[in-house]
């Protein structure tokens, strides 16, 4: 990948050539059809694939399906050794469901919160047996340490040996902090666990409410209460933290009341930077946690389509779509298979359609295309996290990541939502193509839910790669003004991470076709643009991008 620096005159010529030529995208766009999307969604979410949980026969079936489709399209294997699959090691962790959290005062039991209905908890790392007795509990508000925001919820608290109880999300009533109402990474449950481990707390329990989480308790129970997966820890060093998990709203309310506090007043106190930790009096936490483990190997599928420009073909546009879902779980209305049709058979279908489209116009591509169907997304973005940290090409050679996760299956819209609008130079390209189609690129309608940190593009962003993730628009053509909030959003809430996310022959995929074709045009322009994509100056991932580009410069000089 060693290259000479490109003279300014050459760049200018490339730009003029790019602008003056009129690409013929129709052969590629014609590959993106309702019929093809429907075929892929139906096949990938079929009961025979058993919900596609990591390291199961269902995962192997979907991996084989994607490889077969890539081969038929003419996509080449993308691994350095000429293979299709990047295996990555994971630990499957299952907490004993008989676990309960016993709250005591002196010799008396005040509460006993059972696993599943009021408590979801697991070992914080890879411990097999944990026994905690008489641990102090401290409410630490949002549990945030953010010096750049002038915010520290700990105020010098020694967390050693303590169970931290913290509120989900991040402060939203300060326009000049934490992006106002938009959720930042500080509001994600993953951050809550990370800061507890960093500070050396004994454990952390997040108070769940549907508004602060963005999903009901059933999603916590379904996603976190079953066998969970983590990337296998490397080395012997372990943090002091023993447990991590969630408390239901009802359990949290009862806990705080027993300590003499009103939950709403505690929540309100956490909204201000002068918040100080609040010990829960003489209440103590007692819990025994047992967990079993399996060492497994999950799979990312990697395909590549090479560009034709002698200078730019070593740079890549990266597409990601997760092929996994939640597998087989407890029966609901007689159904135990979590098919994941919308989430995310639809995104994989879109990626396969786009791969076929770009193959049809391959001679027009300057940069190369990298297609990555990642595994274990539902387990914490594990597949994309592993790939981004162990990429097949250095991240400094990746122009952009386009993530495909959940298509619009409810009909055409005049808008398309860009999660993270304003973060990258990709926005201008998206807006230009949307305007040409009489559409608009809209910001996230639910910025408080932190969607930018909840899908696979986040793993690429953390490595500095400018990334975008689109979601269905909210302005449905031919429908009432409130159609999205009154009809679509309740339906999405009903099926999200449940057995009801099944292929529906009545779905209107015309909106999915429109959205996928728009992003196809965006990806084509990224592939042929004179310069790689970039973060908006001051963005939180700009420093990581500069590190990746510096590593590239070092490679090219050696």
pLDDT tens per residue, range 358-388: 999 999 999 999 999 999 999 889 999 999 9
Strand spans (E) along 255-338: 278-305, 316-322, 327-332, 335-338
Angle at 74 between CA 72 and CA 75, to 5 degrees: 110
Banded pLDDT at 556 (limits 50, 70, 90): very high
Dihedral of CA atoms 141, 145, 151, 156 in degrees, nearest 10, equals: 80
pLDDT at 323 over 50: yes
- Confidence tier at 14 by pLDDT (50, 70, 90): very low
The ranges assigned to domains in the chain are 31-92+295-557, 95-291
Instruction: Return all residues near 290 (Cβ < 8 A) that are at least 6 apart.
Output: 95, 96, 99, 128, 129, 130
The reported pLDDT for the residue numbered 431 is: 98
Residue 342 · residue 495 · CB < 8 Å = yes
Q: Helices marked H in 188-229 — which ranges?
A: 189-199, 210-213, 217-224
Mean pLDDT of 302-320: 98
The number of angstroms, rounded, from the C-alpha of 547 to the middle of its chain's C-alpha atoms is 23
Q: Using omega within 30 degrees of 0 as the cis cutoff, is the peptide bond preceding 344 cis?
A: yes
pLDDT in tens, 512-537: 999 999 999 999 999 999 999 999 99
In the predicted model, what is the mean pLDDT of the chain?
93
Helix (H) or strand (E) holding 252: helix 249-258
pLDDT surpassing 90 at residue 449 = no
Q: How far apart are CA 24 and CA 506, in angstroms?
A: 33
Average pLDDT of the segment spanning 392-402: 98
121: enclosing H helix or E strand: strand 119-123
Q: What is the per-residue pLDDT for 83?
A: 98
pLDDT of residue 7: 47
Query: pLDDT tens digits for 469-478?
Result: 999 999 999 9
Buried b (16+ CB within 10 A) or exposed e, 175-191: eebbbeebbbbbbbbeb
The reply to whether the predicted model has a pTM over 0.95 is no
544: three-class secondary structure by DSSP: helix
Q: What pLDDT does residue 215 have? A: 87
DSSP state of 540: T
> HSE on the CB side for 127, CA within 13 Å?
21
pLDDT of residue 266: 97
- 446-452 average pLDDT score: 85
Residue that is written with structure tokens 């630990």 in the block: 91
- From the CB of residue 422, how many other CB atoms can be counted at a distance below 10 Å? 9
Cβ proximity of 184 and 144 under 8 Å:
no
Fold of the 95-291 domain: Glucose Oxidase; domain 1 (3.50.30)
Question: Considering Cα of 388, then 391, then 395, then 399, what sign does the dihedral take?
Answer: negative
What does the pLDDT look like over 57-116, one tens digit per residue?
A: 999 999 999 999 999 999 999 999 999 999 999 999 999 999 999 999 999 999 999 999
Q: What are phi and psi of 114, to 5 degrees?
A: -80, 155
Cα dist from 23 to 28, 293, 363, whole Å: 11, 53, 11
Q: Which residue has the tokens 């990334």?
A: 467
Rounded Cα distance, 237 and 458, in Å: 26
Confidence of residue 226 (pLDDT cuts 50, 70, 90): confident
Instruction: Please write the tens of the pLDDT for every residue from 133-164.
Output: 999 999 999 999 999 899 999 999 999 999 99
Alpha-carbon distances, residue 109 vs 45, 70, 118 (angstroms): 46, 59, 16
Q: Which residue has the higher pLDDT, 175 or 465?
A: 465
Report CA torsion sign: 196, 201, 206, 207.
negative
Residue 19 has pLDDT above 50, yes or no: no
pLDDT score at 501: 98
Say what the pLDDT of residue 21 is.
62
Q: How many degrees, rounded to 5, is the angle at CA 218 between CA 216 and CA 224?
A: 110
d(CA 415, CA 411): 12
Query: Can you tell me the distance from the alpha carbon of 258 to that of 280, in angstroms, rounded to the nearest whole number?
Result: 9
- Structure confidence at residue 180 as a pLDDT band (50, 70, 90): confident
Residue 532, CA distances (Å) to 241, 401, 522 in order: 41, 11, 13
Of 502, 517, 552, 516, the closest CA to residue 532 belongs to 552
Residue whose entry in the numeric block shows the structure tokens 């609008």: 421
What pLDDT, on the 0 to 100 scale, is given for residue 15?
A: 45
- Tokens representing residue 372 in the block: 């990555």
Cβ atoms of 397 and 552 within 8 Å: the answer is yes
The Cα–Cα gap between 405 and 384 comes to 13
Q: How confident is the model at residue 9 (pLDDT cuts 50, 70, 90)?
A: very low
Closest by alpha carbon to 219, among 229, 209, 232, 233?
209
Q: Which residues pair with 85 in a beta bridge?
A: 301
Tell me the DSSP string of 341-407.
IIIIIHHHHHHHHHHHHHHHTGGG-SSEEEEEEES-STTTSHHHHHHHHS-SS-GGGEEEEEE----
Domain 31-92+295-557 falls in which CATH fold? Aminopeptidase (3.40.630)
- Residue 93 tokens read as 């962790």
Sorted by sequence, the CB contacts under 8 Å of residue 192 that are 6+ apart come out as: 143, 166, 168, 204, 206
- Give me the pLDDT at residue 57, please: 98
Cα separation, 169 vs 211, in Å, equals 9
Position with higher pLDDT, 223 vs 118? 118
User: What letter would DSSP give residue 110?
Assistant: E
pLDDT at position 3 is 40
């Amino acid at each position: 990948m060693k290259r000479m620096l490109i003279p300014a005159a050459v760049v200018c010529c490339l730009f003029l050539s790019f602008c003056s030529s009129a690409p013929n995208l129709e052969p590629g766009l014609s590959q993106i059809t309702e019929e093809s999307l429907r075929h892929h969604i139906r096949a990938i979410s079929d009961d025979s694939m058993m919900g596609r949980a990591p390291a199961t026969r269902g995962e192997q079936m979907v991996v084989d399906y994607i490889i077969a489709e890539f081969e038929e399209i003419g996509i080449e294997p993308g691994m350095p050794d000429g293979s299709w699959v990047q295996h990555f090691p994971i630990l499957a962790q299952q907490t004993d469901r008989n676990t309960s959290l016993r709250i005591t005062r002196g010799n008396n039991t005040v509460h006993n919160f059972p696993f599943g209905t009021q408590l979801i908890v697991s070992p914080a790392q890879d411990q097999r047996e944990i026994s905690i007795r008489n641990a102090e509990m401290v409410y630490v508000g949002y549990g945030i340490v953010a010096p750049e925001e002038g915010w520290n919820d700990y105020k010098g608290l020694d967390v050693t040996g303590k169970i931290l109880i913290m509120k989900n999300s991040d402060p939203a009533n300060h326009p000049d902090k934490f992006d106002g109402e938009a959720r930042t990474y500080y509001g994600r449950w993953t951050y809550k666990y990370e800061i507890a481990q960093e500070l050396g707390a004994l454990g952390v329990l997040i108070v769940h409410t549907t508004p602060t989480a963005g999903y009901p308790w059933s999603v916590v129970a379904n996603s976190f209460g079953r066998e969970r997966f983590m990337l296998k820890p490397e080395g012997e060093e372990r943090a002091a933290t023993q447990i991590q998990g969630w408390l239901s709203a009802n359990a949290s309310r009862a806990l705080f009341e027993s300590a003499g506090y009103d939950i709403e007043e505690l929540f309100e106190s956490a909204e201000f930077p002068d918040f100080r930790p609040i010990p829960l009096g003489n209440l103590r936490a007692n819990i025994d946690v047992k967990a079993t483990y399996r060492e497994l190997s999950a799979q990312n599928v990697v395909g590549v389509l090479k560009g034709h420009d002698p200078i730019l073909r070593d740079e890549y546009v990266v597409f990601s779509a997760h092929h996994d879902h939640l597998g087989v779980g407890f029966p609901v209305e007689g159904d135990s298979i979590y098919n994941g049709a919308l989430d995310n058979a639809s995104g994989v279908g879109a990626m396969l359609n786009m791969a076929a489209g770009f193959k049809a116009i391959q001679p027009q591509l300057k940069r190369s295309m990298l297609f990555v169907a990642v595994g274990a997304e539902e387990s914490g973005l594990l597949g994309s996290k592993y790939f981004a940290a162990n990429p097949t090409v250095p991240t400094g050679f990746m122009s952009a990541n386009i993530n495909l996760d959940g298509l619009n299956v409810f009909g055409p819209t005049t808008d398309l939502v860009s999660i993270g609008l304003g973060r990258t130079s990709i926005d201008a390209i998206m807006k230009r193509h949307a305007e040409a189609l009489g559409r608009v690129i809209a910001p996230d309608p639910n910025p408080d839910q932190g969607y930018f940190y909840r899908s696979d593009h986040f793993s690429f962003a953390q490595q500095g790669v400018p990334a975008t993730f689109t979601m269905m628009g909210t302005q449905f053509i031919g429908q009432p003004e409130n159609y999205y909030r009154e009809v679509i959003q309740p339906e999405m809430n009903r099926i999200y991470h449940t057995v009801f996310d099944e292929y529906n022959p009545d779905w209107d995929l015309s909106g999915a076709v429109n959205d996928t074709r728009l992003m196809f045009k965006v990806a084509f322009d990224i592939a042929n643009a004179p310069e790689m994509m970039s973060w908006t100056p001051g963005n939180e991932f700009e420093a990581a991008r500069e590190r990746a580009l510096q590593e590239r410069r070092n490679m090219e000089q050696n």
